[in-house]
Copies of this chain bind each other. A is one copy, B any other.
Amino acid sequence: MQLQDLETPALILDRSRMLRNINALRLRMAASGVQLRPHLKTAKSVEVARLMMDSAAGPATVSTLKEADEFAAAGVTDLLYAVGIVPNKFAHLARLVRAGVRLTVVLDNVAAATALREFAEREQIKLYVLAEIDSDGHRSGLRCDDAELLKVARAVQPEPSKPGHCELAGVMTHAGASYGAYSTEAKVAMAEQERLAAVAAVHRLRAAGYAAPVVSVGSTPTAHFAQSLQGVTEVRAGVYVFFDLVMAGLNVCAVEDIAMSVAATVIGHQREKGWIIVDAGWMAMSRDRGTAKQPVDQGYGLVCDALGKPFADLIMTEANQEHGILALRQGSIRPLPDLPVGTLVRILPNHACATGAQHDRYEVVDSDTEIAAQWPRFRGW
């Protein structure tokens, strides 16, 4: 089957590009001697996860307990759930642990820590906890010098030398602000800031008597640009597997590295306006406009031919639910390509996590137009 035989819209995965992306970060991590704990939230696919992980059992990171369920069912036994835990998810944690998962969770407050420890003791299940550290002010977590850190540690594990059912395993941080770092210097600096915050926090825990063996950091930009990982024990990254226009705009990858695209078909034109209309709108692309605040705004995506080669300056400028409007980027002096009704195009996404989430499977190609496999995706919570 060929791409041209697809009913559009459809999600395309260029396996050759993906394997190159996976290999690049794997080599970098191997050289550093630090464990990679890939984040599986971008792909939400067992087939892709197996290519990202060091072994079929993990380790890996997830953003939902649904991901944990799916990957556990596929044999992954070492999982970090990287969103602050709250009581309505405790019963779900217990099911995962009883199914054989070594589960690590994160939290940043005494209330959650106390409730979790009481639950683990009552249910007699083992849970590993990382204190979430805020290294850049962008989201959750405690500052590395916050007095609450030791209170949270004690709420998780009252006796530093005696891990109970709830064990304080260390610290985690995520430098989400790295998504604003355009230069190499800025990304290197952000990685160092992320590392220093995590290391400073874990030193406080160790000084208080906790073993706290885990120092978990990461984002795709910092994973690719960190110059030192001293004191770090694991790195998390997710979107590196496919990359996207936001990452290309941040100079973390080239446009030619982007392994995900949406196949769409030309359904009409408004010629006097310079519009080409396609059958992929925000339902297929997502509403993500992550490049809107970057130097080059890619609209809802950059348009390529069936082989994945970009048409110069042609982007999706507007999106309705199932309609996309393709037009030349503002200020472009290029001619509008001649794309008759029925032409297949491929549109590179702003944000692979968001675009992937709109689809239930990947049509897998190897940098050509033949569909080599279909891989399912899952979603939900």
Contacts and interface: CB of A to CB of B under 8 A. Distances in A.
Copies of this chain present: 2
B268 A381 contact: no
Contact of A321 (B269, B353, B380): B353
Contact of A320 (B139, B270, B322, B342): B139
A64 to B, nearest CB: 6
Which of the four size classes fits the interface of chain A?
35 or more
A115 B322 contact: no
A359 B380 CA distance: 6
Contacts of A287: 286-289, 354
A6 B86 CA distance: 12
> Mostly helix, strand, loop or mixed at chain A's interface?
loop
A340 interface: yes
A7 B341 contact: no
Nearest to A6: B88
Contacts of A359: 380
Contacts of A65: 7
Interface in A75-98: 83-89, 92
Given A269-B109, A381-B10, A279 B83 contact: yes
A193 interface: no
A155 B6 CA distance: 25
A50 interface: no
Contacts of A115: 342
B63 A321 contact: yes
Interface of A: 4-10, 41, 63-65, 83-89, 92, 107-109, 111-112, 115, 132, 134, 137, 139-141, 176, 265-270, 273, 277, 279, 282-284, 286-289, 320-323, 325, 340-342, 353-354, 357-360, 379-381
List the 4 shortest-distance A-B pairs measured between CB atoms, nearest first.
A84-B267, A287-B287, A111-B341, A287-B288
